[in-house]
Amino acid sequence: MITGALQVSGGGLPLLLVRRRRASFRPPQAVASDAAATTGREEGGKVALGGSGVAVTKLGVGAWSWGDTTYWNEFQWDDRKLKAAKGAFDASIDCGITFFDTAEVYGAGISGAINSESLLGRFIKERQQKEQVEVAIATKFAALPWRFGRGSVICALKASLDRLGISSVELYQLHWPGIWGNEDYLDGLGDAVEQGLVKAVGVSNYSEKRLRDAYERLKKRGIPLASNQVNYSLIYRNPEDNGVKAACDELGITLIAYSPIAQGALTGKYTPENPPKGPRGRIYTPEFLTKLQPLINRIKEIGGSYGRTSTQVVLNWLVCQGNVVPIPGAKNAEQAREFAGALGWSLTDEEVEELRSMAREVKPVIGFPVEKL
């Protein structure tokens, strides 16, 4: 097992040494007046996660699909898909994308063939055998109804660290609000910081009210709430409508956007004649894709003027919102390289607003129910 914490450097995106060393606890101070000013601060091509002091690449890679057999991968996992996932990891590193998001429930138990955390840990170890690399890992605690007390957070975190083969992570998040025990879970996050098991803590799928409550509870311990990971894309802008995006900007909390390309619907890959298969086909139906086509066509036109793909345009649109780190899921090296091409350029303000206006005409019927709590 590699020891210590994955270090993040503010200097460019070189492949640096992963140093593993447990430091004495010094919680980053959560100062409300400074939070918004420090959020999104860029250093050497990276961006700070809230007021935590942890810096990550402006775009990350989601590992939800790695090992999954219930939503992705056409319900099966084999060596070919394993090699493809490894290719996605290596290509991301090669392109300077070093921020990876996983979770204890991704690919675990009934949801998959192999745990996503275990795969990520394996990929890091194999890469380390070839060269020194720098990686920032985010993972998540599942607020399952049979988990009680702050100690359940530490117990789950240590199990995640074992699967990852490391002794600490950059970011540990509550995956969703629990039916009960949320204050204990937040206390557990604080304990994890103080024990040196994590460098920063965040939440996921939290409403504005829950977000503010979590921020205040951690602030009392001098620990900033670094992030809120929510579903956010050009065609799914609930974080703007429900106050979450504004609250993140106000409090200095980074918004991490999952499903930023609407699970492939915004890439132009799918058409009314060729809708996605599996569970996604129930969301992105031929009828919906028909309504989406004018927007898809305009995205493609704009991309052509920059020599960029539709995928790169919609990811760049999110980056242009400010204080947003998209984490598209990469299943192979080709996708990973394409995602990296969303950085290093920018849409104009006029293009950003034009796409926003056109997207108002279409909105998929999706959403994690707890977003409304």
270 assigned to active site: no
pLDDT band at 40 (very low <50, low <70, confident <90, very high): low
Q: Answer with the residue of higher pLDDT: 10 or 169.
A: 169
The per-residue pLDDT for 13 is: 26
- Beta carbons of 214 and 20 less than 8 angstroms apart: no
The per-residue pLDDT for 28 is: 46
Q: How many CB atoms lie within 10 A of CB 32?
A: 14
Q: Tokens 């040196």 label which residue?
A: 196
Q: Tokens 């219930």 label which residue?
A: 70
| Domains and their CATH numbers in the chain | 55-268+319-348 (3.20.20.100)
Q: Answer with the residue of higher pLDDT: 106 or 236.
A: 236
pLDDT (average), residues 215-239:
97
And the tokens for 2? 């590699």
Report whether pLDDT(51) > 50: yes
pLDDT (average), residues 286-299:
96
pTM exceeding 0.75: yes
Query: For the chain, what is the mean pLDDT?
Result: 86
The per-residue pLDDT for 27 is: 44
- Nearest residue to 9 (alpha-carbon basis) of 135, 164, 169, 196: 135
- CA 120-22-116 angle, 5° bins: 15
Report whether pLDDT(60) > 70: yes
Distance CA 325, CA 354 (A): 21
| pLDDT tens, position by position, 104-156 | 988 876 555 678 999 999 999 999 999 999 899 999 999 999 999 999 999 99
- Beta carbons of 84 and 68 less than 8 angstroms apart: no
Report whether pLDDT(33) > 60: no
The pLDDT > 90 percentage for the chain reads 71
**DSSP three-state, residue 326:** strand
Distance CA 310, CA 292 (A): 13
Buried b (16+ CB within 10 A) or exposed e, 304-330: eeeebbbbbbbbbbbbebebbbbbbbb
The per-residue pLDDT for 114 is: 78
pLDDT (average), residues 184-199:
98
Catalytic residue among 71, 106, 185, 215: 106
| pLDDT tens, position by position, 306-359 | 999 999 999 999 999 999 999 999 999 999 999 999 999 999 999 999 999 999
Query: For the purposes of burial, counting CB atoms within 10 Å of the CB of 110, is it exposed (0-12), middle (13-18) or buried (19 or more)?
Result: exposed
pLDDT band at 41 (very low <50, low <70, confident <90, very high): low
pLDDT band at 11 (very low <50, low <70, confident <90, very high): very low
pLDDT (average), residues 29-42:
49
pLDDT band at 71 (very low <50, low <70, confident <90, very high): low
The per-residue pLDDT for 130 is: 92
| pLDDT tens, position by position, 81-99 | 889 999 999 999 999 999 9
DSSP annotation string for 260-288: TTGGGTTTT--BTTBPPPGGGGGTS-HHH
Distance CA 125, CA 6 (A): 13
